[in-house]
């Protein structure tokens, strides 16, 4: 049971003045240490669900459990929850207040009761790791979108959460910053964090995720291993998504007799290329 870090049962949430529920009986489970991609059309409830996980939105009904305990949404419990669950918002401007980068990142640890020196040291470690030390003394509002994104990630990492949520982390980033952000995310589960992110990028999810959860109209359409869900054409169609490129090429290469279907489909384009080269090298 300990294996499940987060559990949602039949969550329902309608925004004030909203005419339809944003979450309409949403149930799912997140295993500790896993990498999970939330996918689905705009408006399917991904962001609302992530906001529930940090207590920003309180479901009108249903049950949310974190670490085996029901989330009560009482103020004291929410403070504890937010130490353990960090969210990187889609738009960094919703997250950063306009202090210097260093002050911004040290604020969380200071708030937890660390001394100013300790908080500064914690912030410096994370800044170094994310490569943002060079603009430590700039005000956050003077940074580029990509730099702000890195600061908003540092803001959360410095708190060492157990679960980290990213709402469309690569959206609106240039390719260089998208690659940097993806590399940062890549390393997090190795440090014992559980990572849940929303994305529209099926290729990225196929290469990165252990599990994929398809959202549809405020409910879960399908949850399962990435290499099953993202090869399920019917489910993908229902969620307005396409088959990722790697399994598409793999299927075509198997059909053309180039690849042997008993060799499982790889997760990345590089691994697929290696398979094809190895095939060509055979006598």
Ligand X SMILES: Nc1ncnc2c1ncn2[C@@H]1O[C@H](COP(=O)(O)OP(=O)(O)O)[C@@H](O)[C@H]1O
Do 185 and 226 contact (CB within 8 A), yes or no? no
Q: Are 202 and 243 in contact (CB under 8 A)?
A: yes
CA distance 187 to 34: 12
Q: CA 269, CA 283: separation in Å to the nearest integer?
A: 24
- Which of residues 30, 44, 47, 215 is near Mg ion by CB under 5 A? 47
Of the pair 195, 239, the CB lying nearest ligand X is at 239
Please identify, using beta-carbon distances, which residue of 41 and 112 lies nearer to Mg ion. 41
Number of residues in contact with ligand X under rule CB under 6 A: 11
Which residues, 3 to 62, sit near ligand X by CB under 6 A?
Answer: 15, 18, 22, 40, 42-48
> What is the Cα Rg of the chain in Å?
20
* Closest distance to Mg ion from the beta carbon of 270 (Å): 30
Contact between 44 and Mg ion (CB under 5 A)?
no
Contact letters (x/-) for ligand X, 58-97, by CB under 6 A? ----------------------------------------
Assigned token pair, 56: 């920003």
Q: Minimum distance between the CB of residue 23 and ligand X, rounded to whole angstroms?
A: 8
**Alpha carbon of residue 51 to chain centroid:** 13
- Angle at which helix 269-281 crosses helix 245-255, to 10 degrees, equals 20
Interacting residues toward ligand X by CB under 6 A: 15, 18, 22, 40, 42-48
Interacting residues toward Mg ion by CB under 5 A: 46-47
């Amino acid at each position: 049971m300990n294996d499940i870090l987060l559990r949602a049962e039949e969550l329902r949430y309608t925004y004030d003045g909203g005419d339809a529920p944003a979450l309409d009986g949403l149930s799912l489970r997140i295993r500790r240490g896993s990498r999970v991609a939330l996918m689905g059309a705009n408006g399917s409830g991904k962001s609302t669900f992530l906001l529930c996980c940090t207590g920003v939105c309180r479901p009108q009904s249903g049950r949310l459990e974190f670490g085996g305990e029901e989330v009560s949404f009482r103020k004291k419990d929410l403070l504890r929850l937010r130490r353990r669950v960090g969210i990187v918002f889609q738009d960094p401007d919703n997250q950063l207040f306009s202090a210097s980068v260093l002050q911004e990142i040290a604020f969380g640890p200071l708030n937890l009761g660390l001394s100013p020196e300790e908080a500064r040291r914690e912030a410096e470690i994370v800044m170094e790791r994310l490569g943002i030390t060079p603009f430590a003394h700039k005000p956050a509002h003077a940074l580029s979108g990509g730099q702000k994104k890195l600061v908003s990630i540092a803001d959360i990492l410095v708190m060492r959460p157990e679960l980290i949520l990213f709402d469309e982390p690569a959206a609106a980033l240039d390719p260089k910053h998208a690659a940097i952000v993806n590399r940062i995310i890549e390393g997090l589960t190795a440090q014992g964090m559980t990572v849940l992110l929303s994305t529209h990028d099926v290729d990225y999810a196929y290469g990165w995720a252990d599990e994929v959860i398809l959202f549809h109209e405020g409910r879960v359409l399908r949850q399962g291993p990435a290499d099953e869900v993202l090869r399920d054409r019917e489910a993908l169609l229902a969620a307005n998504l396409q088959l990722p490129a790697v399994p598409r090429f793999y299927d075509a290469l198997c059909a053309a007799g180039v690849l042997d279907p008993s060799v499982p489909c790889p997760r990345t384009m590089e691994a697929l290329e290696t398979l094809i080269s190895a095939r060509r090298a055979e006598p």
